[in-house]
Amino acid sequence: MAAAYMLATGATEMPQGRVSRGQEKVLARRKKKIKRVLRGVGLTTFVIAVATFLTTFAPDYPEMFWCFAACIYIAFASIAADIWYEELALWIKWGAVTIIFAMAIFFSFYIVCRSAPLDIVATSSEGNYKDGENVEGITWRPAYSELRIGITNPTNLDYNNVDIRIVPALWVVEQVIVSESSSCHFEAASPHFSAVAHGTDANGKPFDEPFKGKGPRSSGLRIRCDKFPRNDTLAILVAVMNVDLKNNPASAVPIFRPQRKVKCPWVYVKGQFTLLQRPHHIEYTYATQQ
């Protein structure tokens, strides 16, 4: 009786005098109501957590993970409080609450706070291949510079829903994935320019003519992977160009002048992916190795 009174009211000791039977009934009803509310909160948040967790599998809703995580923590707290209000031996209560607390810690460190690095290395050269030479599937042109990018998942877990955009310092003309095991693919970051090359021929005579190959673009490239396997490396070859783009007064097709070939000094990388359904983000500018 005394224990029930102190547990329901939060008192540390019994007041002077006896507790009437009516007060006991009031305290019992209050305690029962608190337990019912806690149980309802715990079950409701657990159901919401399961529902939001399922939505995290959709690539367009990775941020729903945080709603899932919040519901899981609320469910842990409410279930622990519900157990504490039960008519159980104190050692059973402490044991159950300790187990729930350990589950919350495991969830926090194994999923919520788990790091998910991406190792990115970029190298660049002037790409002095022969005109028309096939380089990893790219028909090379004299104006192209070479940029190679390696993206590695160094962990022992798979990444999912990878969406990365890479913007080099130079304009992108063509790109190809050269790693055989990759399940990734390119998506258009923006359309290529229809362009006219401006320059001089072998006799020093100026010319304007449609560019041989795809026109350049400044928006970089976009990579998508449904799954990026553990300890796997995505190797990419990019043909880039040092471009001076100008408007063409004769038409809507712009004129670009390939400038002196240079090595690409840096690449900007921004993207997101999920690990165990938790979204991770990356945004960094990497200096190239030359």
Distance CA 169, CA 288 (A): 10
Residue 8 pLDDT level (bands cut at 50, 70, 90): very low
Mean pLDDT score across all residues of the chain: 76
Q: Could you tell me which of 185, 172, 152, 157 has the C-alpha nearest to residue 282? A: 152
Distance CA 265, CA 268 (A): 10
Q: Could you tell me which of 239, 234, 122, 229 has the C-alpha nearest to residue 180? A: 234
Tens digits of residue pLDDT in 60-101? 667 778 877 877 787 788 778 777 777 778 888 898 889 889
Q: Could you tell me which of 126, 123, 110, 117 has the C-alpha nearest to residue 72? A: 110
Question: Does the structure show a pLDDT above 70 at 26?
Answer: no
Tens digits of residue pLDDT in 97-155? 898 899 889 989 988 888 999 999 999 999 889 988 999 999 998 888 999 999 999 99
Please report the pLDDT score of residue 269 as a whole number. 92
Question: Does the structure show a pLDDT above 80 at 27?
Answer: no
Q: What are phi and psi of 42, to 5 degrees?
A: -60, -45
Q: What is the mean pLDDT of residues 48-55?
A: 61
Question: Does the structure show a pLDDT above 80 at 5?
Answer: no
pTM of the model: 0.69
Question: Does the structure show a pLDDT above 80 at 172?
Answer: yes
Tens digits of residue pLDDT in 225-271? 989 999 999 999 999 988 766 554 554 455 566 667 889 999 999 99
Domains assigned to the chain: 2-112 (no CATH), 119-287 (2.60.40)
